[in-house]
A and B are shown apart, each in its own frame.
Chain A
Amino acid sequence: MEQKKQVAIEMRGVTKAFGSLVANKDVDLCVYRGEILALLGENGSGKTTLMNMLSGIYYPDAGEIFVDGKSVSIRSPKDAFECGIGMIHQHFKLVDIFSAVENVALAMDSQEKYNLKAVAAKMQQICDRYGFELDIQQKVYDMTVSQKQTLEIIKVLYRGADFLILDEPTAVLTPQEADKLFQVIRNMREDGKSVIIITHKLHEVLDISDRVTILRKGQYIGTVDTKDATEDSLTEMMVGQKVELNIDRPEPVDPEPRLILKNVTCKNAEGIIVLDDVSFTVNSGEILGIAGISGCGQKELLEAIAGLQGVEAGGSILYYSPQNRKTTELVGKSPRKIRDLGVALSFVPEDRLGMGLVGSMGMTENMMLRYYNDNKTIFAEMKKPRKLALKIKEELDVATPGIDTPVRALSGGNVQKVLVGREIAASPTVLMTAYAVRGLDIHTSYTIYRLLNEQKQAGVAVIYVGEDLDVLLEISDRIMVLCGGRVNGIVDARTTTKSEVGLLMTNMRKEAQHD
């Protein structure tokens, strides 16, 4: 650090809004040559949006960008490349049936002669120089996620990028693969390239970066030298002070176990473990908050309970019926079977119009979806669903021209009201919600909180998967924190602090705690 550092990219006062949502407000960022900068923040803190403005996906509403001291205007990915900026997105842009070399050739400058051998030779040089391991003739569909990522990085380097942006590069990697990636990134730093890593994993930040820039809710919080930072100090900057929201939290009513999960392990379609040996209890009459960085197994957990996700052998999900105290094993049963056994589960999924409702149908027909089985005749029974639709429209104040208007035409908040209203009307004993207030305005959010609290007081076991820690801290009775598919702790929401939960979210404890 003796020699004078040269500024590579600087962003000054950058602001970007999507409609009324301000994703980035007055953000400054600066990266030097030969440096690794970590961009740290919670989900939805605007990290990716900020970087997308460097890579030409979005154009800033206000603010300036300087590359090597010159003010530039980046309006497309092509402009970004001309500035030497290359971004590796979370979703790879590769053609599956092409080999590695063909994928790189695709991105080639059209002036260059088409010669796959020459491309392969140049790729091999890049691999040797930075220590990438890749079979250049391999087809993409045969590659692991890590290999695909390597290919994406090589593609960007091939085009001559000097500044690399990696969007949560380790999210899809095993620890060993991540170590390898970090070694390559260090090699690139030695070579004088600048690397920006978007991440929310603290140990990675401390491990690899030279400096850290922290964003919170779209705002620039600050930049610190990594050597002066600790996990605690970074967490505090990341989650910030607690904000009072004044959400009601009635005392739990005679809590008794409703669901007991033991050693639940799930694999995703690629065979990777997404939920690892999870055990906990859900009580009636209380709200169990589930916190965690996105993609830590929340979705799979809820789907496993609902019977939509297979559970590996050895796992058990026991349901305690409130009427006769009978227990039912839910693992291995289809949603239909679970319902036929008298288990009253309601599920408000994250993907409202994909899994929850049918967008092109009206409210009435969407009500029918849950009761299609009750029909005794071949003609659809319309009266009851119609009544229910009217009732929900009335009680939850759904803004719709009529109950037959396709729900797709409604705003996000009203769609959610329809969905939550329908699920509650099924008088569940367990109500699961995933990101129930995502994208909703304050008023609607409070309506949802009120509905959840009403259910809780009626003795329903409510599971609330959320991303806003302030809300989780105020609405939940207990908070279970997931980290990398494991239960990293269950805390009392009345006594815990925001930074305790924040730390649990980002740091795997040495020994995962079980309830």
Chain B
Amino acid sequence: MLSTILSWITRAILFGVVIMFGAMGETLTEKSGNMNLGTPGIMCIGGAFGFGCTYLYEMNAQNPNAFLSIFIAIFCAFFFSALAGALFCLLTTTLRANQNVTGLAMTIFGSGLAKFFGMFIIPEGVVTVKATFANRLFSKRMPVELGSGKIATVIEEVFFGHGFMLYVAIVIAIVMAVFLKRTRVGLNLRAVGENSGTADAAGINVSRYKYLATSVGAGIAGLGGAYYILDYNYGGWSTGAAGGIQALGWLAVALVIFAIWRPLNLIWGSFLFGLCYWLYNYIGVFGVRMTSAQSALLEAIPYVITILVLIISSVQKKRENQPPAALGRSYFREDR
């Protein structure tokens, strides 16, 4: 019983880390007023390139270096995703394309690129390539031993039984919250997303802020993709992985709404989503017997609560809980 619940929690946390990265990236992007629905695709790009680069490194190096392996995975995932984010910004901010259409196209492009990459770029081809070395590094538990008592085991499993990316994600969320709330650049960024005209009049370079927030946001989201493959998916790449990342990417977009655009809410929100998502697999613990059709329906719970949160926050009409006011709108000074 206990071990099953612990395994459920662990699974939920791993899952949560993937969507937390995606949602943090999307939150940062949306704070600049850009609605990047390309996030699922960008996470695929991050996954494909992060995995691919570190895989090629460990295949070709005599003695792969742990630090380099991690660095290559993270850097490549971030860099190529950020490029995709910059492309999105080029299309919507500079070339004035519609954000929603561009975002959806970006998702199709990203997952397609990732599939192509998996199919043809890696010499061995698709099916069962694994970055074993990197997987070991990413899934390595924190070196904390708390003895053998029951409570000690629970604490150890829940708080320390995970790879380092969990802690990186939490730190990023906290830093992002402080950045948005307590720094001038954060204030300026929020102003751009709320009222670009006012920000412009105050002397803020609206385009620069949009480019930077969208690119860095896409980069962070891409880390989620890399993490998906190197830890959540046990280091294995297949073209199917792109589909898996994309599905989680949409949940990440939903999580942004669930967290009402606040980075700190993303931390517990992502784990809650993870628990809900994996509920179908562990519901037997509670003595509930379900047909597979019924348990498949359970996977929809995160979406249902997102809709509920959306309804509640719009009924409340509390202004702090609304999306950035200029979200999805392009800004051109001449339109004033």
Contacts and interface: CB of A to CB of B under 8 A. Distances in A.
Interface of A: 77-78, 93-98, 102, 105-108, 110, 114, 139, 141
A98 B202 contact: no
B319 A114 contact: no
A96 B194 contact: yes
B195 A96 contact: yes
Contacts of B184: 105, 108, 110, 114
B276 interface: no
Contact of B188 (A77, A93, A97, A106): A106
A147 B311 CA distance: 31
Contact of B201 (A77, A96, A97, A110): A77
A98 B203 contact: no
Given A77-B201, A95-B198, A106 B319 contact: no
Contact of B203 (A78, A95, A96, A139): A78
Contact of A107 (B197, B203, B320, B322): B203
B187 A94 contact: no
B212 to A, nearest CB: 15
B44 interface: no
A96 B325 contact: yes
Contacts of B197: 93
5 contacts: A78-B203, A96-B325, A97-B322, A98-B187, A141-B319
B199 interface: yes
Contacts of A95: 190-191, 194-195, 198-199
Contacts of B201: 77, 93
Contacts of B195: 93-96
B200 to A, nearest CB: 9
Nearest to B203: A78
B191 A96 contact: no
Given A95-B198, A141-B319, A106 B183 contact: no
Contacts of B183: 114
Interface of B: 183-184, 187-188, 190-191, 194-195, 197-199, 201-204, 319-320, 322, 325
Contacts of A141: 319
B194 A98 contact: yes
Given A77-B201, A95-B190, 15 more contacts: A93-B195, A93-B198, A93-B201, A93-B202, A95-B198, A96-B194, A96-B195, A97-B319, A97-B320, A97-B322, A97-B325, A105-B184, A106-B188, A106-B191, A107-B202
A106 B202 contact: yes
Contacts of A97: 194, 319-320, 322, 325
Contacts of A96: 194-195, 319, 325
A149 to B, nearest CB: 15
B229 to A, nearest CB: 38
A379 to B, nearest CB: 31
Contacts of A139: 319
Nearest to B192: A95
A94 B198 contact: yes
Contacts of A108: 184
A114 B202 CA distance: 15
B194 A106 contact: no
A97 B193 CA distance: 11
Of A95, A98, A105, the most chain B CB neighbours within 10 A belong to A95
A455 B187 CA distance: 58
B176 to A, nearest CB: 17
Nearest to A57: B336
A97 B201 CA distance: 17
Nearest to B322: A97
Contacts of A78: 203
A239 B285 CA distance: 86
Nearest to A141: B319
A114 B70 CA distance: 36
Nearest to A110: B184
Contacts of A110: 184
B33 to A, nearest CB: 12
Contacts of A98: 187, 190-191, 194
Contacts of B203: 77-78, 107
Nearest to A104: B202
A107 B194 CA distance: 15
A249 B197 CA distance: 47
Contact of B199 (A77, A106, A114): A106
A136 to B, nearest CB: 16
A106 B188 CA distance: 6
Contacts of B188: 106
Nearest to A77: B201
Sorted nearest first, the 8 A-B pairs with minimum C-beta distance are: A114-B184, A93-B198, A107-B202, A95-B194, A93-B201, A95-B195, A106-B202, A141-B319
B88 to A, nearest CB: 24
Contacts of A94: 195, 198
A186 B203 CA distance: 30
Contacts of B325: 96-97
A118 to B, nearest CB: 13
Of A97, A98, A108, A110, the most chain B CB neighbours within 10 A belong to A97
Contacts of A107: 202-203
Contacts of A102: 187
A212 B325 CA distance: 41
A495 to B, nearest CB: 44
A93 B191 CA distance: 11
A110 B183 CA distance: 12
A233 B204 CA distance: 46
A107 B203 CA distance: 7
